[in-house]
Structure 1
Amino acid sequence: MSSREIFKHRPARVLRASAAALGLVIGVAAQAAGYPERPISLVVPYTAGGATDVLARTIADNLSKELKQTIIVENYPGAGGTVGQSRVARGTTDGYTLLLGNVGTLAANASVYKTLPYDILKDFTPLASVGDAPQVLSVRANFPASNFDEFAAYAKANAAKMNFGDAGIGSGAFLGGMLLNAKLGINVTPVHYRGAAQATSDVMAGQIDYTVESSSTAVGSISTGKIKGLMVLSGERVSVLPDVPAASETSHKDLKYVIWNMMLVRKGVPADVVEKLNAAINKTLARPELLQRYKEMGVTVPVADHRSLDGSQKLLADEVARWHTLLSEAGVKPE
């Protein structure tokens, strides 16, 4: 019997099911082909003005040109990034809501919160890592130390009366502060803010001792003269802060901390849309305008593997495991 005859003699319900399945496939393909047909939202789980927000707006401006569609940055701060990420986890799966998170909100939160309303590895699809930002130890202008070795000595003797600011438990600044605590064997108390910008403002005002901030925001805060940049937590200095020594120039050469940033969508977005977004992001990261802005912020484009779909998924999984170990060893208990 020919394939035509077999098809002819199939029951009507089978034919209807086949037609429905074919229609679904065609519908998904059509969705990907026409995507995006309306403005896209990019959720930032922090307040406006912080390092993650600045990076998000830089990417959104350039990505919108690649996709030929408006991208609207929406800030949903709170609970170390979990408020914004929960919004995306509960959202639609049509590809019109993107998320920009970082090592803190994406990898560390699973170890600093007892319960989360989502599973970062099961409920999201990573699109690509989009920017690596060196972190800077920024202290109040009148802090009694002119370099990191002096800071370390002072902190070991005065940790009980010191404090540092962050954008909430699990934020990049929080992780940086806890990393310093662990490496120096101290226990400086964190002060939590709704956003990194507020923490930096209070360092400027002398209300708190220090924060660990991205090179992208440190450029502006240090230039005011109200903050001193004591060290870039990397192996070498960054071009935008030529006068700030790198960790390799101190007696604590292993103090390295670079924040990676990643774009994701909710799990369930069609594979064709995910692939289209990944391709557009990679083209965006090669745009001269974006590269110039990255240079001004001290941010670098991630390696090719971390910009791929499989590579970004692996990066996220590996970092969730790595920070679980680091935070456990530092004595951080889930709250």
Structure 2
Amino acid sequence: MNRRHLVTAIAATALAAGIAPATAQTFPARPVVMIIPFAAGGPTDVVGRIVAEAMSKNLGQTVVIENVAGAGGTTGSTRLTGAQPDGHTIMIGHTGTNAASVALYPNLRYNPLTDFAPIGLVNTNAILLVAKKDLPASNLSEFAAWLKANERSANNAHAGIGSVSHTTCLLLHAIIGVKPQSVPYRGTGPAMNDLVGGQVDYMCDQVVNVAPQVRAGTIKAFAVAQANRNGALPDVPTTTEAGLPNYQVVVWNAMLAPKGTPAPIVARLNEALRAALADANVRTRLADLGADLPAENLATPDGLRAFMEAEIAKWTPVIRAAGVTAGN
């Protein structure tokens, strides 16, 4: 190699070595798109918009929401895998898209652990077991006894195969040891309407979705499936208090980037996420929804990756034992 070619090669190497730091230093260079893999107005969408607004202030660029609904959130998740790994496209994934999907979708087009760059856990949301107001049970123990006695005729409503309201009731059934009928709906709204109307017996869903009806007295709540009582419904006992301590389950939202996003950019996005979750207004708004902020160790990329691994290990046997699958 002559001297001129050697100098050119050295310069090219130096330039290549400096690309990632320069990109990280100038990031973001334009608005950041946040994919929400569900329809507007749902709990993940609401949380995403609250966090996006606060992150925009920290990043100095607008975080734009793009709702890409379909196939239990897997359509939007698949779109993220095809985005440029430069930090300008991110996503709010959740329990279904990055844990339950592994067992639910035999032809899943992405690997939740290897096709994304974890940024951090955003929040968790407690699951509440609720029933039509005239169901003949006044507490969780009585409900479990009623369910065993009426296994063939009892039915639960959910927002479709693979939805949070579906998978969390599958776990409940596995713990109690029953396989009652389930009634799928096109979303939580129609399912809740029929629960209020008494056409179905019970439902498992996020506090944010059911708290208004519980407060209004149109349905009854048996227990919240977490260690501590939920601030949005402080009078509702935990499953441990109510006699079913094994039923501990929360739904979560997590921030992800495409695989290959440079570590400095992931770190910058994590910094913006942490700043958003530390904002007093954000914390108040999330608390009003019944959402809980993540533990410090789960608000990191490494912590989120380990958390998702544990969640996949938790949900896969439950879903496979129930023999439930969903199409892509």
Q: What's the TM-score once normalised by structure 1's chain length?
A: 0.89
Structure 1 Cα separation of the partners of residues 5 and 115 of structure 2 = 34
Q: Work out which of the residue numbers 124, 134, 137 in structure 1 matches 2:129.
A: 137
Asked whether the 8 Å contact 1:105–1:171 carries over to 2, the reply is: no
Q: Which amino acid aligns with 2:80?
A: V
> How much has 1:269 moved relative to structure 2?
1.5
Alignment partner, residue 254 of structure 2:
262
Question: Which shifted more, 206-215 or 310-319?
Answer: 206-215
CA deviation string 1:49-73 (max 9, x = no partner): 2222222122112222221222222
Q: Which letter maps to 2:113?
A: L
Q: How does 1:120-269 map to 2 (within 5 A)?
A: 120-269=112-261
Query: Distance between the aligned counterparts of 1:10 and 1:319, measured in 2?
Result: 57
Q: How many residues align?
A: 326
Q: Does 1:284 align with 2:276?
A: yes
1:108 Cα offset (Å): 1.4
Indicate yes or no: 2:322 matched with 1:331. yes
Residues 310 and 229 of structure 1: CA distance in aligned 2, closer, same or farther (over 3 Å): same
CA distance in 1, matches of 2:10, 2:134: 74
2:170–2:322 CA contact under 8 A, matched in 1: no
Give the Cα separation in 1 of the matches to 2:196 and 2:28. 43
Percent same amino acid at aligned positions?
35
User: Aligned in 2, Cα 1:160/1:21: closer, same or farther, shift over 3 Å?
Assistant: farther
Structure 1 residues 280 and 224, CA, compared in 2 at 3 Å: closer, same or farther?
same
User: How far apart, CA to CA, are the structure 2 residues paired with 1:221 and 1:33?
Assistant: 48
Amino acid at match of 1:86: T
Match in the other structure for 1:316:
308
Post-superposition offset of 1:136: 0.5
Q: Quote the Cα distance in structure 2 between the aligned partners of 1:287 and 1:36.
A: 21
* 1:55-66 equivalence runs, <5 A: 55-66=47-58
Residue number in structure 2 paired with 1:90: 82
- 2:147 match: secondary structure: helix
SS of residue in 2 equivalent to 1:247: coil
Does the Cα contact within 8 Å between 2:170 and 2:318 map onto a contact in 1? Answer: no
2:68 maps to a residue whose letter is Y
Q: What is the alpha-carbon root mean square deviation over aligned residues?
A: 2.1
For residues 178-227 of structure 1, the C-alpha deviation after alignment (integer angstroms, 9 at most, x for no partner) is 01110111112333344334433332343433222212222223233322
Match of 2:22 in 1: 30
Give, in angstroms, the shift of residue 14 of structure 1.
4.3
Q: Is there any run of 5+ residues in structure 2 with no aligned partner, and where? A: none
**Equivalent position amino acid for 1:319 in 2:** E
Quickly say closer, same or farther: Cα 1:286–1:157, change in 2 above 3 A. same
Match of 1:133, SS state, is strand
- Whole-Å separation in 1 of the counterparts to 2:24 and 2:265: 5
Which deviates further from its counterpart, 85-94 or 187-196?
187-196
Partner SS for 2:240: helix
Q: Name the CA distance, whole Å, in 2 between partners of 1:21 and 1:202.
A: 64
Residue in structure 2 matching 1:119, options 102, 111, 135: 111
* Aligned position for 1:274: 266
Report if aligned partners of 1:203, 1:227 keep a CA contact under 8 Å in 2: yes
**Paired residue for 2:66, among 74, 78, 84?**
74
Instruction: Tell me the CA shift for residue 276 of structure 1.
Output: 0.3
Cα distance, 1:265–1:168 mapped onto 2, change above 3 Å: farther
Displacement after TM superposition at 1:333 (Å): 4.5
Compared CA separation, residues 99 and 199, structure 1 to 2 (3 A): farther
Superposition deviation, residue 130 in structure 1: 1.2
* Aligned counterparts of 2:250 and 2:260: Cα–Cα separation in 1: 30
Q: Which residue of 2 aligns with 1:298?
A: 290
Q: Give distance in 2, aligned partners of 1:223 and 1:113.
A: 36
The answer on whether the counterparts of 1:112 and 1:333 sit within 8 Å (CA) in structure 2 is yes
Which moved further from structure 2: 283-292 or 89-98? Answer: 89-98
Flag structure 1 segments of 5+ consecutive residues without an equivalent.
Answer: 1-8
CA deviation profile, 1:154-199 (whole Å, cap 9, x unmatched)? 2112232333233333332222110111011111233334433443
State whether structure 2 residue 101 is matched by structure 1 residue 100: no
Q: CA deviation at 1:48?
A: 2.3
Query: Which position in structure 1 is the counterpart of 2:299?
Result: 307
Partner of 1:5: none
Please tell me whether the aligned partners of residues 80 and 167 of structure 1 are also in contact (alpha carbons under 8 angstroms).
no
- Structure 1 Cα separation of the partners of residues 190 and 46 of structure 2: 14
Shift of 1:111: 1.2
> Which SS does the other structure have where 2:91 is aligned?
strand
